[in-house]
Amino acid sequence: MRRLSSCIAVGIAPLWLAGCAVLGPAPPSGPDVVPFSAKRPGTERWVGWRPWIVAPGKAATQYELVVDPLTQRVVVQAVAVKAASGLQQPLDVDPATHPLLEWEWRPVHPIAAADLGERHLDDSPVRVLLFFDGDRDALPPRERTLMETASLLTGQPVPYATLVYAWDNRRPPGTVVPHAATRQVKTVVAGHGFAPPPGWQRLRRHYVDDYRRAFGTAPGRLVGVGILTDSDNTASEAVAYYGDIRLLPAPRDGAGNDAAVDTAAR
């Protein structure tokens, strides 16, 4: 991400992104994520969801409710041209009651130069983000300073931790990619490859297990969910579609993560 000012910018940028994702009125009680499929293209906009700005000066990714030609369902189309912005919904969920995350996406224009492990190439055609509360006083002074500075610059609170599910060209699903600037943002690769899949992917992750693996501890309360298609770092273009996102209770059989439940066009 581009610099806000000299040395603090690299650390603040990812926190700025996360901080803008937990804004607004009091979150709904319960695990319900407002489904895109219940909306109507062209009339009902982002009720329940809200646009969020990654950082001032960045071009905005264009999000639009459309009817998917493959499924005839209402989905979100995302087009990013050298851009980075997202959509987000506040939540207030105990992860122990609904530890599974299920979602659908369809990247149709991946970013050949993108690399989640490289600070200046950190773009992805599709990301689903989860935002968590936690004990900020237990963080190292540097992390607390980054959060405080980001809050002052944005005028908004910053979540304690952010767990991201993203598409990556090079790494296999399940790989945890740490952020170069802050240990409070971790990415789990959920899809990979230089060529897009032929249709929709439906994915399910036990995000509590993923959080433990990424951060080494149990998550605090889940305070928000977001989507992000970005291409600003590679100065390129990305096109993708998002379907509904769901939080589910743990299955009785104790099944864990599935990298891709269904990759066929439906």
As a whole number of Å, the end-to-end CA separation of the chain is 36
- Give 45's contacts (C-beta < 8 A, 6+ positions apart): 39, 65
Compute the average pLDDT of residues 82-99: 95
Q: Does residue 22 carry a pLDDT above 70?
A: no
Q: Is the pLDDT of residue 31 over 80?
A: no
pLDDT at 162 over 60: yes
The predicted pLDDT at position 58 comes to 87
Q: Where are the domains positioned within the chain? A: 9-262
Does the structure show a pLDDT above 60 at 14? Answer: no
Please state the φ and ψ torsions of residue 210, each to the nearest 5 degrees. -65, -40
Dihedrals phi, psi of 152, to nearest 5 degrees: -65, -40
The two tokens of residue 100 are 């599974």
Query: What is the CB neighbour count within 10 angstroms for residue 266?
Result: 12
> Is 199:263 a contact under the CB 8 Å cutoff?
yes
Distance CA 110, CA 114 (A): 9
Contacts of 96-100 spanning 24+ positions with Cβ under 8 A: 96/208, 97/31, 97/249, 98/31, 98/247, 98/248, 98/249, 99/206, 99/207, 99/208, 99/209, 99/249, 99/250, 100/204, 100/205, 100/206, 100/207, 100/247, 100/248, 100/249, 100/250, 100/251
pLDDT (tens digit per residue) in 47-63 = 889 888 777 788 999 99
- pLDDT grade for 186, boundaries at 50, 70 and 90: very high
Higher pLDDT pick, 58 / 239: 239
CATH of domain 9-262: 2.60.120.260
